[in-house]
Amino acid sequence: MRKIKNPWIGKEGYDCYACSPDNPIGLHMEFFEDGDDIISFWRPSEHYQGWLGTMHGGILSTLIDETCGWVITRKVQTTGMTVRLDVHYKHPVKTDEAQLTIKAHITESHRNFVTMKATIENNNAEVCVEADVVYYAMDAEKAKEMGFTHCDVEDEQLFSM
């Protein structure tokens, strides 16, 4: 598993709610590549609850959507936009979980449309949320207009899942 370098760091105007490390109210997500999977480890808190002690479904959807966006960034080497986000909440996610694991990978690609499967697991490796996601992958020219050039991983191998 290797940490993905954030290609947006240093870009003027970059303040993504999900992945910017400098957004004061953001989620500060980081991403890792492990084979076909893009993975994020994230710690919930009571500030992201919907109901007492339970994570808000919109935040859980954001975690999935952002992870899928990074699948496009790293695996397809472009930018993209969400076309469909079909989320299934299987079990409540508690705000006091030690860590959530969000995983996503490509299941199909046709022209510029990329289909992905994503999950959120709690600290006990129980799948609490599943999603089927479709992204539109921008062509290289549009990605360049949006400031994207490439997305690399750090050299050091961290560990294998």
pLDDT in tens, 132-154: 999 999 999 999 999 999 999 99
Query: What are the tens digits of pLDDT across the range 100-120?
Result: 999 999 999 999 999 999 999
Distance CA 79, CA 72 (A): 6
Q: What is the pTM of this model?
A: 0.95
Residue type, 130: E
Distance CA 103, CA 68 (A): 8
The bridge status of strand 37-42 relative to strand 100-110 is antiparallel
CA 145 to chain centre: 22
Query: What are the tens digits of pLDDT across the range 7-19?
Result: 999 999 999 999 9
Distance CA 21, CA 104 (A): 21
For residues 44-65, give the mean pLDDT.
96
Is 62 in contact with 100 (CB distance < 8 Å)? no
